[in-house]
Amino acid sequence: MAEGVKQKVVSNLAWRFAERVGAQAVQFVVSIVLARILAPEAYGTIALVTVFITILQVFVDSGLGNALIQKKNADSLDFSTVFYANVALCVVLYIILFLAAPLIANFYNDPSLIAITRVLGLTVVVSGIKNVQQAYVSRHLIFKKFFFSTLAGTIGAAVIGITMAYNGFGVWALVAQMLFNLTLDTIVLWITVKWRPTLQFSFKRLGSLFSFGWKLLVSSIIGTTYQNIRQLLIGKIYSSTDLALFNRGKQFPNIIVENINKSIDSVLFPTLSNEQEDKRRVKVMTRRAIKTSIFIIAPLMMGLAFASTNIVRLLLTDKWLGCVPFLCVFSVTFMFYPLHTANLNAIKAKGRSDLFLGLEVIKTVIDVVLLLISIRFGVIAIAISLLISSFTSQIINSWPNKKLIDYGYLEQLKDMAPSILLAVVMGLVILPLNFVEGPLLLLTLAQILIGAVIYIVGAKVLKFEMFDYILGIVRERVGKR
């Protein structure tokens, strides 16, 4: 039985990983193609609306769906109750958004946002229809269904978006792409997943599920609203083009770091929790996680920053060169994200949720102050405020671990410094190629190749511990195969 469960978990992890990698790969390629066709203003206009839709989406994605997954004996009555409640809620949310569309347009002083908001807002209703099917798939560990629905929606939306963009539909190409993606995803999921709602509803069951789900809902609303506040302020105070350049500069480093950081987060926390009584072991594993992640991420982020001009010109064309300063700032900012993850996981593993909450409050207050100070000095100042906030958060997140596991910030800096310094040297060597005239593809490939050689050879010559550690893991995996 245990072996069967293990195989089921491994199989579902494989399908889930394949789904995410496949979808992100297609979306990344499509985003590059669309960015070459469309002007930055189109992306900025969409971003103005998605700030509000993303917040409303939290009501759908968090709360009752998670409560269904968490409940031990959820039955058809529970699923049907949540389905009808979700659809009703989403219809109400859409009506509110529909009526608020003129207010949103007035807020940004852009009348075109009325129609865009009302059409794109339909994604909220579609999400309500899809949400319980998602919960059913997750609860019954049949993630293979996600793979086919996500792939169909992503590829279908890619065709629609690129075709409309090529034929001059502008911002509506992005609207159609997003709406079509979610709609086709939902249709395929309903076809492949056999669960259907029955004519049952229970206010008692709804209350029971809501008692668990509301906490997650409130947390998600606060987090999502806070994460999108910069977009809202940039869109209001500055232009949609500024917002598009800000978001585009954030996109590349975010894609790279998010996947690595999520892998660290999902593995490190349970591993540390199993060793929470052994202070030395927790320190050893936290230290290993920080040194390994920085060794991998530092050259990627510094390479992205120092080669940013050629990368943007090659992938997005010269019209997006305005995002280069943002890309450089965010590359440095995101480079340290795994440091936050490792420190916070160590705190959680030691059972100090009180500290965790306290640190979040302190960091939020500091970040809001930095944002309010920077907002008057321009969009690049807003990006730099996030960088400064990241550095202050490093110190705040690591502070409790000086006592909890005897691993303070200065020691962590000492562990990170060799990889970061070597990555900076690598970046300085490839930087001049941004100013050389020639084929962009060859210049960019040269930057990648030269950068990789410098970093790998440097790590070998300087006898970096993490170089031998990672090389040993690779050799072990290859040997097993």
Are residues 224 and 194 part of one domain?
Answer: yes
> Do 260 and 134 share a structural domain?
no
Give the model's pLDDT for residue 385. 92
Q: What is the pLDDT of residues 240-267, one digit of tens each?
A: 889 889 988 988 888 777 766 665 554 4
Whether residue 168 is found in the same domain as residue 269: no
Could you tell me if 204 and 244 lie in one domain? no
Both 250 and 216 in one domain: the answer is: no
Please name which of 342, 345, 384 lies closest in space to residue 367, comparing C-alpha atoms. Answer: 384
Q: Which pLDDT score, from 0 to 100, does residue 39 have?
A: 83
Domain membership of residue 165 as a residue range:
2-235
Rg (CA), the chain: 24
Using the 3D structure, point to which of 191, 207, 235 is the last residue of a domain. 235
Is residue 66 domain-shared with residue 202, that is, in the same domain?
A: yes
**What are the angstrom distances between the C-alpha of 91 and each of 63, 113, 237, 434?**
17, 20, 31, 51
Determine the Cα–Cα distance for residues 75 and 83; give it in Å rounded to an integer.
Answer: 12
**What are the structure tokens assigned to 234, written together?**
């940039």
My answer on whether 27 and 104 are in the same domain is yes
Is the full-model pTM beyond 0.75?
no
Note the pLDDT of residue 138.
67
Distances (CA, A) of 92 to 95, 97, 99, 186: 5, 9, 11, 20
Within 10 angstroms of residue 457's Cβ, the number of other Cβ atoms is: 10
Give the model confidence (pLDDT) of 199-217 as tens digits.
Answer: 888 787 777 767 655 655 6
CB 312 within 8 A of CB 304: no
Count of domains in the chain?
A: 2
Q: Are residues 72 and 188 in the same domain?
A: yes
Rounded Cα distance between 429 and 435, Å, is 12
How high is the pLDDT of residue 367?
85
Same domain, 310 and 433: yes
- Asked if residue 395 lies in contact with residue 409, where contact means CB atoms within 8 angstroms, the answer is yes
| Domain end among 235, 257, 281 | 235
Q: Are residues 228 and 250 in the same domain?
A: no
Q: What is the DSSP string of 404-436?
A: HSS--HHHHHHHHHHHHHHHHHHHHHHGGGGG-
Phi, then psi, of 111 in degrees rounded to 5: -60, -25
Of 207, 235, 263, the residue at which a domain comes to its end is 235
Q: Distance between CA atoms of 74 and 419, rounded to whole angstroms?
A: 49
Q: Which residues in the chain show pLDDT less than 70?
A: 1-24, 61-72, 138-150, 209, 211-220, 222-223, 259-279, 348-354, 356-357, 473-474, 476-481
CA 70 to chain centre: 23
* Together in a domain, 204 and 247: no
Q: What is the pLDDT of residue 6?
A: 43
Alpha carbons within 13 angstroms on the beta-carbon side of residue 319 total 14
Question: Is there a single domain that holds both residue 208 and residue 247?
Answer: no
DSSP 73: T
pLDDT score of 266: 47
Is 152 within 8 Å of 185 (Cβ atoms)?
yes
